[in-house]
């Protein structure tokens, strides 16, 4: 018996699982993982995340005691796929164009199931224990992994949620600070007495105009993503709310750019006698994994034997890997042939998913040799 990775992927995307509603998919995966010989657990994170299920954790026994390798993906999709009919053409699976496909991250889940089926079918293959983590609400702030309440035992691991073809390894991701800024001015009639008011929109606009944003350098970005305020065209706006962010792989640059934003807002609001309130949060911390670490060096060895070109790169986005690394489990993300996530043009290349299964089997074998 073997898993047809396309057939399995199509089953997964047929189960609608937008963030917070992963229960149906979790139930399917529990049964599937148990059939493959894994012990499966559900943690109690749902009480904190508000999802209708917890994270799933599974353990597949090894032929050797070490090392324990973590394979992880997320069960939620960024939007609903209800009613979507996948289309297979030119060696890839596409959405029908009405909504997203859900390859982010059901392609990753399909690959993990393919790996376990391969291990089950090849009992002579030497490998350590495999730990599986399938998270909820990754698409809405990494909530599932942040609230994971199960003690993982992995020595290091792979997040099946990277960009690019098989062989692409994401070994670095930035820290992410979120800023919620509120500028309060004073309302007045815009035609009768505008001079009696303090226009919060004008104040906020002046502050934003004086701040660098976009790509600041190769490892640092900032963005003003949402601004809302005012009540009517004939009222001087008395309140504006702004959502902004700063990301950087450098702690010093992260703090410098964040403080620059806050300093400019403080300067401009004081100048106009407006009020400023700020909520600043560290969403997640940066990580960088050295290429000499076994999590990467074993991938290079496996790639060389399989004829897979291995390429190491950084990303500007956040991953479950950010949280796992901050908790002491070195993790990188692997590409698996998916592209255009979060869009109706999303697709995944079939051969790349199967190649990723083979790549991981090779990595598991190399991990035993190097331990």
pLDDT at 370: 87
Q: CA–CA separation, 247 vs 242, rounded Å?
A: 17
Q: With a cut of 90, say whether residue 351 has pLDDT above it.
A: yes
**Token pair listed for 354:** 């199967």
pLDDT mean over 55-62: 97
pLDDT at 3: 67
pLDDT at 371: 80
pLDDT mean over 121-150: 95
Mean pLDDT estimate for the chain = 96
- Shortest CA distance to 272 belongs to which of 212, 192, 189, 184? 184
138 is catalytic: yes
290 is catalytic: no
- Shortest CA distance to 112 belongs to which of 88, 133, 142? 133
**Token pair listed for 218:** 């190769």
Among positive and negative, which fits the CA dihedral 183, 188, 190, 195? negative
pLDDT mean over 139-152: 95
Convert the pLDDT of each residue in 153-163 to its tens digit.
999 999 999 88
What lies within 8 Å, CB to CB, of 190 at 6+ separation is: 197, 233, 234, 235, 236
> For residues 237 and 272, is the Cβ–Cβ distance under 8 A?
no
Q: Is the peptide bond before 67 cis (omega within 30 degrees of 0)?
A: yes
Convert the pLDDT of each residue in 209-244 to its tens digit.
999 999 999 999 999 999 999 999 999 999 999 999
Which of 138, 155, 163, 346 is flagged as catalytic?
Answer: 138
Cα diameter, the chain: 85
CB-hemisphere CA count at 13 Å for 255?
A: 3
Q: CA–CA separation, 120 vs 128, rounded Å?
A: 13
> For residues 8 and 113, is the Cβ–Cβ distance under 8 A?
yes
> For residues 72 and 135, is the Cβ–Cβ distance under 8 A?
yes
Q: CA–CA separation, 60 vs 73, rounded Å?
A: 16
Convert the pLDDT of each residue in 162-205 to its tens digit.
889 999 999 999 999 999 999 999 999 999 999 999 999 999 99
Share in percent of the chain as helix, strand, coil (round to 5) = 35, 30, 35
**Token pair listed for 143:** 């909530």
**Token pair listed for 177:** 């600070």
Beta strands in 44-198 (DSSP E): 56-60, 69-74, 87-89, 92-94, 130-135, 156-162, 168-173, 175-184
Instruction: Write out the DSSP string of 204-265.
Output: HHHHHHTS--EEEETTEEEEEEEEEE-S-TTB---EEEEEEEEEES-HHHHHHHHHHHHHHH
What lies within 8 Å, CB to CB, of 202 at 6+ separation is: 237, 272
Which of 76, 320, 352, 366 is flagged as catalytic?
Answer: 76
pLDDT at 306: 97
pLDDT mean over 4-31: 96
How many C-beta neighbours within 10 Å does residue 215 have?
12
- CATH code for residues 175-284: 3.30.70.360
> For residues 151 and 157, is the Cβ–Cβ distance under 8 A?
no
Domain residue ranges of the chain, discontinuous segments joined by +: 5-173+286-370, 175-284
Convert the pLDDT of each residue in 270-313 to its tens digit.
999 999 999 999 999 999 999 999 999 999 999 999 999 999 99
Say what percent of the chain tops pLDDT 70.
99
- Shortest CA distance to 262 belongs to which of 174, 200, 179? 179
Tokens 């997320």 belong to 74
Q: With a cut of 80, say whether residue 2 has pLDDT above it.
A: no
Which one is the CATH code of 5-173+286-370: 3.40.50.2000, 2.30.42.10, 3.30.70.20, 3.40.630.10? 3.40.630.10
pLDDT at 1: 41
Q: With a cut of 70, say whether residue 93 has pLDDT above it.
A: yes
> For residues 93 and 103, is the Cβ–Cβ distance under 8 A?
yes
């Amino acid at each position: 018996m073997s898993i047809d990775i396309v057939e399995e992927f199509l089953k997964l995307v047929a189960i609608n699982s937008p963030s917070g509603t992963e229960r149906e998919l979790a139930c399917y995966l529990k049964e599937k993982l148990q059939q493959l010989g894994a012990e499966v657990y559900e943690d109690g994170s749902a009480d904190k995340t508000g999802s209708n299920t917890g994270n799933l954790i599974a353990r597949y026994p090894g032929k050797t005691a070490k090392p324990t390798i973590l394979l992880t993906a997320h069960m939620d999709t960024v939007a609903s796929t209800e009613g979507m009919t996948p289309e297979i053409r030119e060696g890839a699976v596409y959405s029908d164009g009405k909504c997203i496909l859900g390859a982010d991250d059901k392609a990753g889940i399909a690959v993990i199931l393919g790996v376990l089926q391969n291990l089950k079918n090849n009992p002579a293959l030497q490998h350590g224990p495999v730990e599986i983590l399938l998270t909820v609400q990754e698409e809405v702030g990494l909530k599932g992994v942040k609230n994971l309440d199960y003690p993982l035992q992995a020595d290091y691991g792979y997040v099946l949620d990277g960009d690019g073809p098989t062989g692409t390894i994401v070994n670095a991701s930035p820290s992410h600070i979120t800023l919620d800024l509120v500028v309060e001015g004073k309302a007045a009639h815009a035609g009768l007495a505008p001079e009696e008011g303090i226009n919060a929109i004008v104040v906020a606009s002046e502050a934003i105009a004086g701040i660098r944003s976009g790509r600041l350098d190769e490892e640092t970005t900032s963005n003003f993503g949402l601004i809302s305020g005012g009540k009517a065209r004939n009222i001087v706006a008395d309140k504006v709310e702004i959502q902004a962010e700063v990301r950087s792989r450098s702690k010093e640059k992260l703090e410098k750019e964040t403080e620059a934003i806050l300093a400019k807002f403080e300067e401009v609001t004081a100048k106009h006698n407006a009020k400023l309130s700020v909520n600043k949060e560290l969403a997640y911390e940066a990580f960088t994994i050295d290429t000499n670490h076994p999590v990467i060096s074993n991938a290079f060895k496996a790639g060389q034997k399989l004829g897979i070109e291995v390429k190491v790169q950084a990303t500007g986005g956040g991953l479950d890997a950010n949280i796992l690394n901050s908790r002491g489990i070195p993790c990188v993300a692997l590409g698996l042939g998916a592209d255009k996530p979060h869009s109706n043009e999303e697709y995944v290349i079939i051969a790349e998913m199967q190649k990723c299964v083979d790549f991981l089997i090779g990595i598991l074998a190399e991990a035993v040799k190097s331990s």
